[in-house]
Amino acid sequence: MHAVPSAGEGSLGDVEPSDANELTTALNNAIAAEDYQLAATLRDRLRQLSGGDAGPPADWQNLGIPSWLAERAEHIGYRFPTDVQRRAAKVICRGADAIIQSATGSGKTLAFAIPLLARLKYPPDAYPEDFQGPQLIIVVPTRELGVQTVMLIYQLFGGSVNAGIPGDPTNMFAYTGPRGIRVKGVLDKEEVLRAKNNGWLFASHVVVGTPQCLAELAASPNPFPLTACLKALAVDEVDAYPKDQKDSLEFVLGQACAQRKQLPKPQVVLVGATLPPEHVLDSYQQQGWVQDAVTLRVGRLGQVPAGLQHRYMVVDEPRKLILMCRQLRLDLAQQGEDTAPARVMVFVGSEEAARAAAMPLRSGLWAEHKVSVLLPHGEEPIQALHAFRDNKASFLLATPSAARGLDLPAVSHVYNMDPPEDSVAYLHRAGRAGRIGSPVKGIVTTLVTQEQVPELLAIAKELNLNLTELPQPPADALTDFEEGNIDTAKKTLDDLYNLL
């Protein structure tokens, strides 16, 4: 067993010394900050964990990724691949079908996206106009995750999501790869109609879509040639598709893998923090959709990101909102001056509950946070995601569907207004914090009634969590008035009015 470097050899600070994902994040951050002493210490520790004795951690180009794509990944903040990204690249780059299971927050999207993009044809070998349909399809369970995936690939293809800041390595002027390559999303009925009737997907290398939209796109009347030139298909969050999506997903897989003249079966990659039951995977293989697949399992099944703090508070149902706000204020008051600003996600059980809670929370947070509400339908999800990602909002109120796969930067606090339905749901909600690249580790707090406590404790036992019970935070307007804290007392009374 290797020893962690002592302070004299170079300190790891508060980085978990046995977590390869956390070490990789810290290594990328140290290099970006030009702290090369810390970077060397982290590099050596990663080398110890992998059993290697020489050489730096493998970068993207050493894994067989084209130089332009490897450089682009580095420029947008992913200098060194994580464990799952390294292992997946070696399999996917040689063209094998793959089934990948890795912890939430470990970088699964890049693990399949970068090596699959590396296998496509680009100018001058082939021009977009030479293809009737996309070379790569990525299937996602929700529109929210689809938007995020489109934006990630857009960046890898040279696009910039920031204003043109001089010298910014992520802007389009620093991109050295092929030009004129495109990624498009088919994530609602309007985009399906545009693709069928108005050439929305013309000359797109990559298409991202939900199963229903992709199935509708490929179906009569006026079917789009979705699979005519397909080289690869990836199914992200493969265990997350509810019953009403599974038929569409299997239709898309069947269409993609159907016999095609002069074209081999496309490469298929299935990815998730958890995987479907064995009989589902066996069925995929029997249908010929997945052939001789290499299965990669990275980390322990059901592993919650390292470094998260898990807490719960027993409250009466009507008081959950007010006590959540008080606890959040208490957490913020206890932070040090140098701590990064809090970024909070709160999960409620349904769209109706999210709409009902939004206005009281906007009133009750004392203008300390701008609240965005992430709902499953309409334009609001896109606006909410952009506002939270771009730091225009610091508090995101979300429904359970938003828990899957979303990689939102630097989430510091996750609150569950009820216990998740099972350990998998808890895993995905908690995984919005403590993600690869996040500078904060995160706190997960679940509010439960006395009757819900056994349910939460069973989840904690299954996930091997160290769960701490919190006392209810106090609030006494009369004491505040007596001590002269008039503003605080008024805010406490406002809480009672707005949140109860």
Does some domain include residue 303? no
Checking if the pLDDT of 18 tops 70, the result is: no
Query: Residue 471's pLDDT is what?
Result: 93
Checking if the pLDDT of 233 tops 70, the result is: yes
Interval 136-156: pLDDT, tens: 999 999 888 898 899 899 999
Query: Cis omega before residue 81 (within 30°)?
Result: no
Here the tokens at position 148 are 């995020």
State the number of CA atoms in the 13 A half-sphere of 402 facing the CB.
28
Return d(Cα 354, Cα 66) in angstroms, integer: 44
Does some domain include residue 427? yes
Checking if the pLDDT of 289 tops 90, the result is: yes
Overall domain count for the chain: 3
Checking if the pLDDT of 360 tops 70, the result is: yes
Interval 104-117: pLDDT, tens: 878 899 999 999 99
Is the domain of 129 the same as that of 7? no
Other CB atoms closer than 10 Å to residue 166's CB: what's the count? 6
Indicate the pTM of the whole model: 0.79
Is the domain of 345 the same as that of 427? yes
> Which range scores top for mean pLDDT: 255-264, 290-299, 445-454?
445-454
Does some domain include residue 101? yes
For 5-18, the DSSP string reads PPGGG---TTS-TT
Query: What mean pLDDT do residues 263-274 have?
Result: 91
Query: Residue 370's pLDDT is what?
Result: 61
Return d(Cα 266, Cα 32) in angstroms, integer: 38
Here the tokens at position 163 are 């204003």
Query: What mean pLDDT do residues 113-128 have?
Result: 90
Checking if the pLDDT of 500 tops 60, the result is: no
Query: What mean pLDDT do residues 290-307 have?
Result: 82
Q: What strands, in cross-sheet order, belong to the sheet with 344-347?
A: 371-374, 395-398, 344-347, 413-416, 443-448, 309-314, 467-470
Is the domain of 53 the same as that of 68? no
Is the domain of 188 the same as that of 288? yes
DSSP-derived 3-state class of residue 303: coil
Does some domain include residue 322? yes
Does some domain include residue 273? yes
Query: What mean pLDDT do residues 271-280 have?
Result: 88
Please state the three-class secondary structure of 36-91 as a single string. HHHHHHHHHHHHHHHCCCCCCCCCCHHHCCCHHHHHHHHHCCCCCCCHHHHHHHHH
Checking if the pLDDT of 499 tops 60, the result is: no
Residue 82's pLDDT band (boundaries 50, 70, 90)?
confident
Does some domain include residue 140? yes
Query: Residue 307's pLDDT is what?
Result: 77
The answer to whether 298 and 275 have CB atoms below 8 angstroms apart is: no
**Final residue before a domain boundary, out of 25, 42, 57:** 57
**Final residue before a domain boundary, out of 19, 42, 57:** 57
pLDDT: which is higher, 416 or 15: 416
Could you say which DSSP state residue 184 is in? E
**Final residue before a domain boundary, out of 41, 57, 73:** 57
Residue 49's pLDDT band (boundaries 50, 70, 90)?
low
Checking if the pLDDT of 274 tops 70, the result is: yes
DSSP-derived 3-state class of residue 312: strand
The per-residue pLDDT of the chain, averaged, comes to 80
Is the domain of 270 the same as that of 340? no
* Centroid of chain to Cα 283: 28
For 260-293, the DSSP string reads BTTBPPPEEEEEESS---HHHHHHHHHTTSS-SP
Q: In a 10 Å sphere around its CB, with 0-12 CB exposed, 13-18 middle and 19+ buried, how is residue 37 labelled?
A: exposed
Residue 230's pLDDT band (boundaries 50, 70, 90)?
very high
Is the domain of 52 the same as that of 139? no
Query: What mean pLDDT do residues 281-287 have?
Result: 92
Return d(Cα 52, Cα 54) in angstroms, integer: 6
Is the domain of 490 the same as that of 366? yes
Residue 132's pLDDT band (boundaries 50, 70, 90)?
confident
Does some domain include residue 425? yes
Residue 498's pLDDT band (boundaries 50, 70, 90)?
very low
Interval 482-492: pLDDT, tens: 344 445 544 55
Q: What are phi and psi of 347, to 5 degrees?
A: -100, 130
Is the domain of 81 the same as that of 11? no
Does some domain include residue 304? no
The answer to whether 280 and 288 have CB atoms below 8 angstroms apart is: no
Interval 460-479: pLDDT, tens: 999 889 999 999 887 643 34
Is the domain of 280 the same as that of 397? no
For 218-249, the DSSP string reads HSSSS---TTTT--EEEESSTT---HHHHHHH
Domain of 21 in residue numbering reads as 1-57
* Centroid of chain to Cα 466: 24
Query: Residue 12's pLDDT is what?
Result: 53
Query: Residue 493's pLDDT is what?
Result: 42
| CATH, residue 454 | 3.40.50.300
Is the domain of 408 the same as that of 460? yes
Is the domain of 284 the same as that of 227? yes
Residue 389's pLDDT band (boundaries 50, 70, 90)?
confident
Residue 268, beta-bridge partner list = 233
Is the domain of 456 the same as that of 348? yes
